[in-house]
Structure 1
Amino acid sequence: MKPRILLLIAFLALMACKRELKKSASEPVLISNNVQYTEENGILNIQSEKFNYHFKENQLPFKKIILLNASMAGYISELGAENLIVGVASPEYIYSDTIQKLVKEGKIQNVGNEQKYDVEKIISLKPDAIFTNHIASFDNTYKLLKDNGIQVIFLDEYLEQNPLEKTAYIKLFGKLFGKSDESIAKYEEISKNYQELKQLAAKAKEKPVVLANEIYGDVWYLPGGKTAMAHFISDANAHYILKNNTEEKAVTMSFEEVFAKADQVRYWVNAGNHRSKKEILTMNPVYSKLPVFNKGKIYVVTGKEKEKANDYFESGVVRSDLVLKDYIKIFHPELLPDYQLTYMKELQ
């Protein structure tokens, strides 16, 4: 009787162990609040906001992909997976030298732009997947592509307001490209750099006041207090003028409202793509009334720009550590005496 009881206990323990293993295998890998994936029974399940995707083992890794957004090229380049790309939209906005070379050689095809995609060419390239931000006005085009057996994967990384969560998308790309270990290592390296830089910034003795963005028409679109820009400024140990705001989107203000808050501003960042302070005044003479225009420093994101392509919106999407490093160099130059700005440039 006793051996039977021991056998029953062993059997129940084994079943419990199996259930636990199955549960563990199904636990989601969180990229952000918007994106996650799970692996279960040989199927990769991806949730990207309201969209869900399911890929069997024999469908992965992808060997041929198309990018409809230049910002996603940064993840591909960081993984050294440019050879997987067979088509891109609006190649003139892509900064990567490797991708541009492949476009010139005809190994990557131009498949249109955000006004009109060349659906026939896309179908003829037979990609395993297309990566794009979701644009509702193109839903009919997406449906046509799906009806022709093409996976359209929507990843709206631009909505992410936590810099490291935006970086974390590289883990999903790595999973889909058979470069999971490499992508996780890249993420951990960038995350480690970011945290160390944040700790370095905390040692600064001063906390300067910062203004961001610029006027369009009669409206100044400032980053909300919970946006990625606000996070960068805070992590670089500076005081953003809308620090206490709770918006994750742009906040609209008149020049007079900004002027009333800008008396102590020492740095003005992300001030468009202007080439000089003189050019800024030709766009809007009212800027000359700001104390920061006359006594402070102004920075734009044109440090790595070629014609229509700007690497701040490409590799900068992934390399949150380098973006933070730029801001620390701007606000606290004494902390990084030998570092040269990567994405930013001071206006003269």
Structure 2
Amino acid sequence: MALLALGPVAGFSQSPAPKVTAKPAAKAAAPVRSRTSVQYAKGFTLSYVGNYKVLTILSPFEQKTTATRYLLLPRGTARPTGFTEAQVIELPIRTLVGLSSMHVALADFLGASNILVGLGSFQYVSAPKVRQRITEGKVLEVGQGKQLNNELLVAQHPDLVMVTGWPGESLPRFQTLAAANIPVLINSEWVETTPLGRAEWVKVMAALLDKEDLVNQKFNQVVRDYQRLAASTRNVAKRPTVVVGMPFKDVWHVPDADSYMAQFLRDAGTTYPWDKTRAPSGSLALSFETVAPVALAADYWLHTGSTKSKAEIVAQDARYTAFAPFKRGMVYNNNRRTNAEGSNDYWESGAVRPDLVLADLIKILHPELLPTWQLRYYQQLK
């Protein structure tokens, strides 16, 4: 709430009223001093011009990539000339509605969980501080997609609603919020092709919070740790073969060459059979018969859906017992940090801590390189 400058109140003093002088014009906001730069992410750009920031989100869903531009202005300052199509967001944001668990991770990474006042769904939230806010009734469940509760959002009137940039989730779809002067920011981190590029979206949140100095410090440490871990596997004598995932409705989706998961596997020192195969969607839709020959001879099997035991795997399909990693007990799933509500923290904090995810993978695949590391996101299925 803006503070009002109040003049003398009648009757408050017996002294003569002071002489009224013209109020000096408000000074322009000082230039932005704290800055960050984008090094790994390809889905957004951030620039600093005088006292404001220009954030551009690239939408890769059309044949010709489109861009959505935002002017990030100090609260109460006038809109600069130009950028007539840009949406204005006043800084720093004080309240945020996030429609994805990734948005929770971005805020939590910067110690700003308290700005979250709304979530698309309570089910997919892991951060303890945010779950506590939910328990205390400080966060509203606002729905997603066609179930988005626009009336509730308009009544709440947050400083910003952050949405996931799926195909069709363009700004015109949020006309009701725009009419209520509620900014909507499209977050498309999921299209990034590297783990560090995906994690670097924390810099979008930092720009919204005026926390560039903090994000530079924390993210740069993540980068250093990630790169040190990746370097440790470059000259390993054996690069074990891995198979990833499980079929869903008779289709086995595996990461394609341009996916961030494929980059994880490269940096973890593996032999991944589809490391050179590309697909428009970021994953390859294969049949069981295509993947099975690889799985029959693979060294490790990763990401087995929601299963928590080998028995659960067999219950889905007895043919899995023939896979070499199943026989050898080399099956690892990324669901170690799943809470009572069913939220898997791998998809939340793991998205902004790729260094910890990579450490887990190296511990599994090359345990001699990290003898004291304890698995954080992964667990071996028994």
Give the distance between the partners of 1:34 and 1:75, measured in 2 at CA. Answer: 16
| Paired residues of 1:224 and 1:242 also in contact (CA < 8 A) | yes
Shift of 1:27: 11
Deviations 1:241-292 (A, max 9, x none): 2122133611122122112333431001111120111111111222223222
**Residue equivalent to 1:239:** 271
Q: Distance in 1 between matches of 2:257 and 2:155?
A: 45
Query: What is aligned with 1:295?
Result: 328
Q: For 1:40, give the aligned amino acid.
A: V
Q: 1:64 aligns with which of 82, 90, 95?
A: 95
Maintained 8 Å contact 1:204/1:335: no
Q: CA deviation at 1:342?
A: 0.6
Counterpart selection for 1:125 from 156, 160, 164: 156
Distance of 1:124 and 1:253 partners within structure 2: 46
Q: Tell whether 2:43 aligns with 1:34.
A: yes
Equivalence for 2:221: 189
Query: SS where residue 238 of structure 2 aligns?
Result: coil
What's the CA shift for 1:226?
2.0
Matched ranges for 1:101-250 at <5 A? 101-135=132-166, 136=168, 142-247=174-279, 249-250=282-283
Q: Distance in 1 between matches of 2:147 and 2:47?
A: 34
Q: Name the counterpart of 2:10.
A: none
Single out whichever of 206-215 and 280-289 deviates more from structure 2: 280-289
1:320 aligns with 2:337: no
Q: Distance in 2 between matches of 1:30 and 1:226?
A: 18
Task: Report the Cα distance in structure 2 between the residues aligned to 1:284 and 1:121, rounded to whole angstroms.
Answer: 44
Compute the displacement of 1:295 (Å).
Answer: 2.7
Q: Mean Cα displacement is larger for which, 31-40 or 113-122?
A: 113-122
Q: Are the equivalent residues in 1 in contact too, given 2:36–2:203 (CA < 8 A)?
A: no
Q: Which residue of 1 aligns with 2:57?
A: 48
Instruction: Give the aligned residue type for 2:46.
Output: Y
Q: TM-score, normalised by structure 2?
A: 0.80
Segments of structure 2 that go 5 or more residues without pairing to the other structure are: 1-30, 59-66, 76-89
Q: Deviations over 1:191-226 (max 9, x none)?
A: 000011111223433210111011112221111122
Q: Deviations over 1:301-327 (max 9, x none)?
A: 111001321100000010000010010
Q: Read off the aligned partner of 2:331 and give its amino acid letter.
A: I
Q: Please give the alpha-carbon distance, in whole angstroms, between the structure 2 residues aligned to 1:261 and 1:273.
A: 22
- 3-state SS, counterpart of residue 239 of structure 1: coil
Query: Relative to structure 2, which stretch is displaced further, 148-157 or 238-247?
Result: 238-247
CA-atom RMSD in angstroms: 2.2
Matched residues, percent identical?
A: 28
Match of 2:343 in 1: 309
Q: In structure 1, how many angstroms separate the alpha carbons of the residues matched to 2:220 and 2:170? A: 35
Counterpart in 1 of 2:122? 91
**Cα deviation digits, residues 149-191 of structure 1 (max 9, x gap):** 0000001111112100111111121111021100111110000
- Structure 1 unaligned runs (5+)? 1-21
Give the C-alpha shift of residue 119 in structure 1.
1.4
- Count residues in correspondence: 325
TM superposition score normalised by structure 1: 0.88
Partner of 1:37, secondary structure, is strand
DSSP 3-state at the match of 1:192? helix
SS at structure 1 position matched to 2:118: strand
